[in-house]
Amino acid sequence: MYNLLIKELKLGVSPFFFFMPLLTGALMLIPGWLYFLVILYFCFITIPNMFGGYKTQNDLIFSSMMPVTKKDIVKARVAIIVILELLHIIIAIIYGVISLRLYPNLNYIFFGPSLGFWGLCFIMLAIFNIIFITMYYKTAYKYGAATFVAIAAAILFAGGAEWLGIKNSFVFDLFKGTGADNLAIQLSILISGIAIFAIFTIIAYHIAIKRFQKVEV
């Protein structure tokens, strides 16, 4: 597994995608923007480009010829997705903190960069992962439909959450009202988000292994 991960880092994934969070994260500095987009750029840009690369470079044959199990191939691939996702979120969080300092008295229409908001981002990526990873491993090379459906679901979640944040007084309170200053509430949303992210990704990983076993290279 470790060797395959090294392969992803050295061959599979262009270094650009490891630096991209620095650029997309900087979008957090736009005051009062729709910050879900910052994380969604990972789904819009990194995922299809990365998987297009695997397809054109015949990564599937390469990995299959190495002395590794199919399970390890999936594990390394899921690991690299999670690493990149965490990189995007962590760097965005840092920019978010700067953003909060820059504009202390801003009235947010959309969610501001609070801990609770990052919890929602984790849930959004959880939804993305469970759809994308499981659909992709039906063939292990066709990424178009999987990306489309997974992005659509992630956008629906983000849009729905923003809508509730504006229309629903409870959600508004939680993120923009009194709840915004309550560290316990914010932290518990974040932790639940991380938990959902972990559970969904692990489920996706297990389904992917089952499907990949049936794939003919």
Partner 1 sequence: MGFIGANGAGKTTTIKSILNLVRMDSGEIHILGKNMTEHEIELKQEIGSAFGDINFYTRSKIKTLTNVIKRFYSTWDDQIYYKYLKKFNIIEDKKIAELSTGLKVKYSLALALSHGAKLLILDEPTSGLDPVARDNLLDTFQEIVQDGEISILFSTHITSDLEKCADYITYIHNGQIINSAEKEEFIDTYRLLNGKNEQLDLVKNNLNSYKTSSFGFTGLIHTKDFDPTLDIKASIPNLEEIMIYFSKKEELYV
104-116 burial, b at 16+ Cβ within 10 Å, e below that, comes to eeeebebbbbbbb
Q: Does position 145 bind partner 1 by CB under 8 A?
A: no
Residue from 19, 22, 29, 69 touching partner 1 (CB under 8 A): that is 69
Give first-to-last CA distance, the chain, whole Å. 19
Does residue number 26 form part of the binding site for partner 1 (CB under 8 A)? no
Q: How many residues bind partner 1 (CB under 8 A)?
A: 19
Check binding of 11 to partner 1 (CB under 8 A).
yes
Q: In whole angstroms, how close is the CB of 100 to partner 1 at the nearest point?
A: 42
Please state, as a whole number, how many other Cβ atoms lie within 10 Å of the Cβ of residue 92. Answer: 25
Asked whether 135 and 151 are in contact (CB, 8 A), the reply is no
Q: Hey, what are 94's tokens? A: 């840092």
Residue from the set 51, 59, 74, 162 that interacts with partner 1 by CB under 8 A: 59
- Residue found under tokens 């297990």: 206
Q: Which one among 49, 64, 139, 188 touches partner 1, defined by CB under 8 A?
A: 64
Is 60 in contact with 134 (CB distance < 8 Å)?
Answer: no
Position 183 contacts partner 1 (CB under 8 A): no
Which stretches of the chain bind partner 1, using CB under 8 A? 3, 6-7, 10-11, 57-59, 61-62, 64-69, 214, 216-217
